Amino acid sequence: MQGRTVYGGLSAALALAATLGRWDDLPPLRSAQIAFVGPLAGALEIRTELLRRGRSAAFVQADVASAAGLGVRATFLFVAARESHVDLAADASGPETPPPMTEAFEPPPGVAFIRNFELRMTAEERDGQAHIARWARLLDRDGLHPMVELLAVGDVLPPAAMRLFTRPGPISSMNWHLNLLADPPATTDGWWLLRSTADQARHGYSGQQMSIRDAAGRLVATATQSVALFA
């Protein structure tokens, strides 16, 4: 749990796992638009619907609901590779320190979902900057589809705007738009380098840019997210 709701990365991963389980002939996942509509707790029901299937692309909607109603609505875009004369490689700047050599991050007490991950610090974070960069890996990842694992770990960082908090207060992710750049995503020993930078934080809301890199520093995914701030 993340406060009164299921951790957002888990609910997104469950939506994707249900989609892949029902529609087993889909091309690779390229994009995910996830709306965190309301809290999820207890038994969950996941419904999937094929919105459109073309020659190379498929749109699938997945809804995750609990007794309180709809909690997550995800739209997944699956696209097969096609020939193109355009070829721009993603930025390949490597990490400054391999994950096993960095300091372990000790999460605050009471954040239940964090116990399912191992987190390590980087030297990028500075006081007064709305930027977070940490190594992360899911502890129980055996047998997971690579894309499901990536969604489960990709939202584990707190919002970057929390670096500016001068007093504690709750937060709530409102949406998450993820673009996948690698097929399939792969890394070493489960380690991913997650970065998040707030574009702006005012009037109780924040928008942020996010990225996921593998252990060698290769860019695997980019994302944006809107967050409600109650501090």
Closest C-alpha among 147, 134, 140, 142 to residue 180:
147
pTM for this one? 0.91
Those residues whose C-beta lies under 8 Å from the C-beta of residue 149, and which sit 6 or more positions away, are: 13, 138, 141, 185, 190
Q: For residue range 44-82, what is the model confidence (pLDDT) as tens digits?
A: 999 999 999 999 999 999 999 999 999 999 999 999 988
The predicted structure's pLDDT at residue 87: 80
Provide the pLDDT for residue 68. 93
Q: What is the pLDDT of residue 178?
A: 97
**According to CATH, what is the number of the domain 8-79+90-229?**
2.40.160.210
* Residues in the chain where the model's pLDDT stays below 50: none
User: What pLDDT does residue 94 have?
Assistant: 59
Q: What is the pLDDT of residue 69?
A: 97
Distance set, CA 221 to CA 121, 136, 184, 214 (Å): 20, 14, 11, 10
Strands 171-180 and 219-229: antiparallel
